[in-house]
Amino acid sequence: MNNTIVSTIDDSKALLDVKNVKEVKDATGWYEYEPSYDGVITHINTAGARLFGFTSSDDVIGKKINELYAHPFDHEKTLSMLFRDGQAHGFFTLMKTRHGKLFFIRQSSQVILEGIDRYPIKIKSEFDPIQSMVSV
């Protein structure tokens, strides 16, 4: 498992073609995406799209978020946390690029509610890839 993670870090850096993953981040300073409540990605910033191996955010919009999870059931676990608490901060998830390369992210998510009945419409998530938190 450790060899896989180490090679994944190298592969994702090569995929991004940058010296440091932090260079990919937008001016906002983080990666972010918003799926609708049923899991369809409605927004992702350019840095997040590039981290997953796409050339632009338009290539990711419309995809199901569980396509980016290494284990699609992890999305269901995230939703369970959000149903229960309305938000979840700093949890770790194994993700994959469109080419199948695996990497971990630290994610914080919250449910966005709307209307008088406060029904959920989407989920806002911010995340950092683990390799950007490790000094090499």
Q: Do the Cβ atoms of 32 and 125 come closer than 8 Å?
A: yes
Q: What CATH number is given to the structural domain containing 15?
A: 3.30.450.20
CA distance 83 to 111: 8
Report how many domains make up the chain. 1
With respect to residue 54, please indicate whether it lies within any of the assigned structural domains. yes
Mark residue 49 as left, alpha or beta (left: phi above 0; alpha: psi -120 to 50; beta: remaining). alpha
Neighbour count for residue 40 (Cβ, 10 Å): 14
Say which amino acid occupies 86. Answer: G
Give residue-wise pLDDT tens across range 46-70.
988 998 999 999 999 999 988 899 9
Q: How far apart are the first and last CA of the chain?
A: 19
> At 117, is the pLDDT very low, low, confident or very high (cuts 50, 70, 90)?
confident
Residue 32: the pLDDT is 84
Q: Do the Cβ atoms of 95 and 68 come closer than 8 Å?
A: yes
Q: What is the mean pLDDT of residues 65-76?
A: 87
Greater confidence, 56 or 82? Answer: 56
Residues 108, 119, 71, 53, CA torsion sign? negative
With respect to residue 136, please indicate whether it lies within any of the assigned structural domains. no
Structural domain that includes position 108? 2-131
With respect to residue 86, please indicate whether it lies within any of the assigned structural domains. yes
